[in-house]
Amino acid sequence: MSSQRESPHEAVHAEAASEATGPAEGPGVAEAIAAAVTGLLRASGQDLSHKDLADTPTRVGRLWRDQFLCGERMDPAVILGDPVEGEAPTSLVIIRDLPYHGMCPHHLLPYVGRATVAYLPGTQLVGFGRLGDLVNCYTRRLTLQERACNDIVDALMAHLDARGAGCVMVGEHMCLRIPDNRHRAQVVTASFRGELQQRTELQDRLWS
């Protein structure tokens, strides 16, 4: 038996996954997706016996389960449920350049980007890594960037008892870039709650 201890960062992923429910839960998800991909390839007229496609359904099934649906198995209450204690009052917390990726539910094409997350602490602080986990929780699922942005700040208000929360996300969406290769656009979304809705001087710090 290994004596290596699980890190707190790994533990929050395991705990969140064990308590969550949803369509991505269960050992058969990757297999079901693989079967669907097999049908898609067959419907596209592909030769499933070709060496390039031999393991494609299995790879895609695992990729979707582990990268594009795993957020549904994460619980924001668990992610934010272990506050940092014993620290002096903090006026504002901002974390920049948190990478994220998600899957557009309209076209089933991926998007990638970086998020800036901020909150005005009430009585609780949370570890910086937990904010990255929170972004993953709401982006690694079939969702819109706009919705993920709202979900992140709502979770900070609900589960961290923040006085205010903000999130700015800048993403590149394949559904904009692929058709006729006509767009190199970036999608920018922003959500603010609580005191950050009125304090534009603090909002400006998320944009800089």
Q: What is the pLDDT of residues 151-193, one digit of tens each?
A: 999 999 999 999 999 999 999 999 888 877 667 789 999 999 9
Measured torsion, CA atoms of residues 117, 199, 196, 173, in degrees rounded to the nearest 10: -50
Annotated domain spans of the chain? 8-71, 84-207
Q: Which CATH class is domain 8-71?
A: mainly alpha
Q: Is the pTM of this model over 0.75?
A: yes
45: three-class secondary structure by DSSP? coil
Strands 110-120 and 164-173, bridge-based pairing: antiparallel
pLDDT in tens, 12-51: 444 444 444 445 555 699 999 999 999 999 999 999 999 9
Write out the DSSP string of 47-84: -TTSTTTTTHHHHHHHHIIIIISGGGG--HHHHTSS-B
Question: Was domain 84-207 assigned CATH 3.30.450.20?
Answer: no
